Amino acid sequence: MSTQDRLIESTRALLWERGYVGTSPKAIQQHAGAGQGSMYHHFSGKPELALAAIRRTADELRALAEQQFSGPGTALERVAAYLRRERDVLRGCPVGRLTQDPDVMADPELRRPVDETFAWLRERLAQVLAEGVERGELTGLDPVATASTVMAVLQGGYVLARAAGSTAPFEQAVDGVLALLATHAA
């Protein structure tokens, strides 16, 4: 890994563990095994590094989701594959969790990739559902509203699982929404 990559990866790890306010330039340098001069050679400072880290996390999340969205099967099977993909449920969503970081939310530059990622996920899910309606696989549902519902179940499932210290409520929430969707399968 290049020094630049190590700095970004270290920032991702620290943002996850300690949040924005708890992630100091010094800690990033120590974690990456890079000197101060090296860090400021590659990045103007913590905000630029955090932005690069958040963008990389967001890009990975999109690429993972796209594997299921454009995978084989009916629309409902692809939504099910997305929701039931192997996840570290108790760890939570690396992008969703940023919405609870007050420093990230307060900075329009840092919030943008979070906003864009969720907007993209909702749009792609709506496209998958609309394809299902066009192909006659699904009937009687609004793809746009339903896409937001599916995304909310996922993000809220993480919250319920963390509260319970168990993946059970996440799995129940996913089973429940897939059963509701199955009623609309032709």
Least distance to its own copies, CB of residue 63, Å = 19
Asked if 59 touches its own copies (CB under 8 A), the answer is no
Q: Which two tokens stand for residue 22?
A: 């708890």
Which residue, 96, 126, 93, is CA-closest to 114? 96
Amino acid at the residue 40: Y
Helix (H, G, I), strand (E, B) or coil at 138: strand
Which residue, 60, 53, 58, is CA-closest to 25? 53
Asked if 83 touches its own copies (CB under 8 A), the answer is no
For residues 84-123, which are near its own copies according to CB under 8 A?
92, 95-97, 99-100, 105, 111, 114-115, 117-119, 122
Which one among 24, 135, 180, 185 touches its own copies, defined by CB under 8 A? 180
CA angle 166, 54, 63 (to 5 degrees): 75
Q: Which two tokens stand for residue 68?
A: 């299921």
Asked if 165 touches its own copies (CB under 8 A), the answer is yes
Residues that bind its own copies (CB under 8 A): 92, 95-97, 99-100, 105, 111, 114-115, 117-119, 122, 140-142, 144-160, 162-165, 169-170, 172-173, 175-177, 179-181, 183-184
